[in-house]
Amino acid sequence: MKLARHIVVLGTVLALAACTNPGRFGADGLGGFGSGAAGQSGAGDPGDPGSAAYFQQAVGDRVLFLVDQSTLTSEAQFVLDGQASWLLSNPDYRVLIEGHADEQGTREYNLALGARRANAAREYLLSKGVPAARLETVSFGKERPLEVCSNESCYAKNRRAVTVLTAGLSS
């Protein structure tokens, strides 16, 4: 048992070092960066609690933010609690957290705002015990909206941080 755990840790480190542009599972697959709508199928059987599809659909892969904010709402914290416990029980996965903004902002500022949002999610997962080595962040600013209408109903869905599972040991 002890030996097996060591191997897992070592394997994770190797995978990290080898992986510069991680393959991704789940909603963002072909549809672009974290752009998949909820319900779109992730990898694997959503009935299997260890699958990427389960993570995406049952746990929830994204949290939403208020206008120009990066504070985690209680709803967001609830989703991230679920993500943290799933990641702790599925240690093969690493994640890339994508921060996004709605179109109501200038390009550079929105990149910085997306970085803040991704980092807020990362810090929360860290505080719940997910190792830093498994958490990467990136911001897309307003470059990859999920919804394309120009009103609050769409903006609310675009102000998001999406936790995208990336290749771990199993890949």
Partner 1 sequence: MMIRTVLIALTLMVGLAVPLKAQSQGPLRIEITEGVIEPLPFAIPAFEAENGAASDVARQLSALIAADLIGTGLFREIPASAFIAAPQRFDLPVQYADWKAINAQALITGSAALSGNSLTVKFRLYDVFSGAELGNGLQFKGTPEGWRRIGHKVADAVYARITGEGPYFDSRVVFVSETGPKDARSKRLAIMDYDGANVSFLTGGEDIVLAPRFSPAADRVLYTSYASGFPRIYMLDVGSNKRQVLDSQDGTMSFAPRFAPDGRTIVYSLARGGNTDIFTMDLQSGQSRRLTSSPSIETAPSFAPDGASIVFESDRSGSQQLYIMSASGGEARRISHGAGRYGTPVWSPRGDLVAFTKQNKGRFHIGVMRTDGSEERLLTASFLDEGPTWSPNGRVIMFHRETQGAAGRSALYSVDISGRNLRAVRTPEGGSDPSWSPVQN
For binding to partner 1 (CB under 8 A), which residues are involved?
20-22, 31-32, 35, 68, 70, 103-109, 111-113, 115-116, 118-120, 122-123, 136-140, 143-150
Residue at 161: amino acid letter: A
One-letter amino acid for residue 64 of the chain:
L
**And the tokens for 99?**
């921060």
Work out how close the CB of 140 gets to partner 1 at its nearest, in angstroms, rounded to a whole number.
Answer: 8
Supply the minimum distance, in Å, between the C-beta of residue 83 and partner 1: 18
- Beta carbon of residue 164, minimum distance to partner 1 (angstroms, whole number): 11
Which residue is associated with the tokens 């910085």?
Answer: 112
The residue (of 10 and 149) whose beta carbon lies closer to partner 1 is: 149
**Whole-number Å distance between alpha carbons of 15 and 167:** 8
> Alpha-carbon distance 90 to 150, whole Å?
38
Q: Indicate the residue among 62 and 122 with the shorter CB distance to partner 1.
A: 122
Smallest separation, CB 155 to partner 1 (Å): 11
- CB of 34 within 8 A of CB of 162? yes
Decide if 92 contacts 122 (C-beta within 8 A).
no
